Amino acid sequence: MTFKTFVSFLLLVSFSSIFSQTYITNVTIADVEKQKLIKNQTVEITDDIITNIKATKKLKVPSNATTIDGSGKFLLPGLTDAHIHFFQSGGLYARPDAIDLRKEMPYHKELDLVHESMENTLKRYLQIGVTNVIDVGASYSFLKQRAEFENNNHTPSIYMTGPLLTTFEPSVYKDLGDEKPFSLVETVEDGIKMVQEQLAYHPDFIKIWYITSRDTLEVEASARKNLPVIKAIIDEAHKHDLKVAVHATQRITAQLAVENGCDYLVHSVDDEIIKDDFVALLKKNNTILCPTLLVHSGYVNTFSQNIKMSNYELLKADPDQLGSLLDLKHLSDTLLVNNYKRSSSSERSMASLKKAASISMANLKILADAGVLIATGTDAGNIGTLHASSYLSELQVMKKSGMSNWQIIEASTINGAKILNKEAEFGSIDIDKKANLILLNANPIDDINNITLIDKVINNGLVLEPNSILKETPAALAQRQLNAYNLRNIDAFLEPYADDVEIYNYPDELRFKGKETMRKGYSKMFENTPNLHCELLGRIVQGNIVIDKERVQFGDKIMEAVAIYHIENDKIKRVYFIQ
Ligand SMILES: [Zn+2]
């Protein structure tokens, strides 16, 4: 190699490592701020930044550049879930203060599990196009763990608070050290001290749980009694340039919080229809509100054992956590389980859920129409609200409340960025912003469900196929069909099976072959069997073989069996039953 060619070789090497360029050509861009679609555009991405956007015929693509043909496709900014909790799994054992099952699952084990699965949880979000998550109530332990995912192109960006500051602390969360999700604050001095204590862990903002007496007659008096503490926390946080998010679900607590400087209301007001003065207050202060319309029903549906999961949720959720919600069907403490079932399915409980939901939805419509900033958030991690998979259901209920698809998309993108003043960094498709994008196969303005038809996820400039982000394990595949079996959902049950699946009685008696034969037999069984429930007693995985020991309630019969699943090309190809 001559000196000259050596230099050009070096230049080539350094250029290709410094500049990685991708062009998405001929695509329709969603301008979420002007609420309009712009056709035939080419977007240039250099490393992790959008560096140019022009009409396709006006932007020349270098012949050696990576190009993605965006013809017929729609480009959206990456989505934000503006209200999640990593310390909660979404499963049955997530909140021992709501249902105490620590005898079944010690809480430290549950916490170990959520830490271990944090990477997968993040990938589940990225897989559905969520490139930013905002944890509004974490712990010091999660603030430390998130450092592992900094500059990771295979996980979303994470924004996080420390433990939430509260005037009431559920006793199960005491003495947890760095895992504590709550910090008790009883005086103004406590409030100031607790904010200062959090600074060392570098939270992005501060969260307050503004809780009042449950007695409706005492709500205002107790809200006002706690106000000096709330105000002290807000003032101290602002002194350190930290925004403050407040959990306030009554009109009075929400109003007092906003009047005293709260930047972000993380729930709907669900006790009364808001009036003009409240709307004007939020507008004047630029307060952002996250409605979290579904989280309450997640608890009620789980406890009343009236769990409804769409095929999308069955496909995208952590299958083990989703499966845990069904554990109530077989836990040994039947007295506790039946009490929860009875009280959650009571007329009173149903009426109160219905009332709060309808007030929340009506208030959302009022706020959105008035131009108050709404941000999409699920409150995922709470019992029955599973990470990532619950996002679509939240969008659907926002739609049902009367928001337009554009308003919903704005709430899911740019408004999420505005919560932490990050709108110059992400949230829309503009030059100099982060290349966090989703390329859709269909128009989300025609139908909000089209937001799930993702061709590519682009995270920090890295182009990813959604299915490559998180590889489904054989155990997850087996668990997914088990969940669908227990929910009697025939399509979701058959999804993990190969078209030419073979079902055997061990060792070699072929019972039937083919998914369609299976569909006939199982749909009839799902329809006609009362008390159908399969409990997993144990699972062994070896390579592509999963062996489940099951106890099946089948009408009034209970039997035990072993199922051996052989998985090939990511589908269940053969099953052997030992009965
Ligand atoms: Zn929450």
Angle between helices 391-400 and 405-412 (to 10 degrees): 140
136 CA distance to ligand 1 middle (Å): 6
For β-strands 533-542 and 509-513, DSSP reports them as unpaired
* Distance between Cα 486 and ligand 1 center (Å): 28
What pLDDT sits at residue 474?
98
533-575 confidence digits (pLDDT tens) = 999 999 999 999 999 999 999 989 999 999 999 999 999 999 9
**How far does residue 97's CA lie from ligand 1's centre (Å)?**
14
Residue 10 phi/psi, 5° resolution? -60, -45
* Torsion sign (Cα): 407, 408, 413, 417: positive
214, 250 contact by CB (below 8 A): no
β-strand 497-505 against 533-542: which pairing, if any?
A: unpaired
Give dist(CA 325, CA 320) in Å, integer.
9
CA 408–ligand 1 middle distance (angstroms): 20
Query: What local confidence, expressed as pLDDT, does residue 5 receive?
Result: 52
Q: How far is the CA of 53 from the centre of ligand 1 (A)?
A: 37
- Cα 267 from Cα 189, distance rounded (Å): 27
Report pLDDT for 13.
47
Expressed in angstroms and rounded, the spacing between residue 379 Cα and the centre of ligand 1 is 5
Q: What is the pLDDT of residues 44-89, one digit of tens each?
A: 999 999 999 999 999 999 988 999 999 999 999 999 999 999 999 9
Instruction: Give the whole-angstrom CA distance, residue 274 versus residue 251.
Output: 7
Neighbours of 178 (CB within 10 A): 12
- What's the CA-to-centroid distance between 173 and ligand 1, angstroms? 16
Please tell me the distance between residue 266's alpha carbon and the centre of ligand 1 in angstroms: 7
Instruction: Give the mean pLDDT of the chain.
Output: 95
Check whether 217 has a pLDDT greater than 80: no
pLDDT band at 16 (very low <50, low <70, confident <90, very high): very low
Give distance in angstroms: CA of 82 to centre of ligand 1: 10
Q: Is the pLDDT of residue 150 over 80?
A: yes
Q: How confident is the model at residue 212 (pLDDT cuts 50, 70, 90)?
A: confident
Q: What angle do CA 183, 184, 190 make, to 5 degrees?
A: 100
In the structure encoding, which two tokens stand for residue 428, read together? Answer: 């829309």
Q: Is the pLDDT of residue 382 over 60?
A: yes
pLDDT(165) > 90: yes
* pLDDT value at residue 214: 75
76 close to 435: Cβ distance less than 8 angstroms: no
Q: pLDDT class for 274, splitting at 50, 70, 90?
A: very high
Instruction: For 242-262, write each residue's pLDDT tens digit.
Output: 999 999 999 999 999 999 999
Angstrom distance (rounded) from CA 103 to CA 100: 8
Q: Does residue 17 carry a pLDDT above 70?
A: no
Q: Any alpha helices (H) in 461-530, and if so which ranges?
A: 466-469, 474-486, 490-494, 515-528
Distance CA 22, CA 284 (A): 41
Question: What is d(CA 484, CA 323) in angstroms, rounded to the nearest whole number?
Answer: 9
Ligand 1 center to 187 CA (angstroms): 23
Model confidence at 6, pLDDT cuts 50, 70, 90, reads low
Q: What phi-psi label fits residue 474: left (phi over 0), alpha (psi between -120 and 50 degrees) or beta? A: alpha
Residue 85 CA to ligand 1 center (angstroms) comes to: 6
Residue 61 has a pLDDT of 95
CA of residue 83 to ligand 1 center, whole Å: 6
Q: How far apart are the CA of 73 and the centre of ligand 1, in A?
A: 34
Phi, psi of 545 (to 5 degrees): -115, 130
Ligand 1 center–CA 342 separation, angstroms = 26
User: Rounded to the nearest whole angstrom, what is the distance from the C-alpha of residue 3 to the centroid of ligand 1?
Assistant: 62
Supply the DSSP symbol for 380.
B
CA 127-132-136 angle, to 5 degrees, is 120
Segment 122-126 mean pLDDT? 98
Q: What is the whole-number distance in angstroms between the Cα of residue 273 and the centre of ligand 1?
A: 22
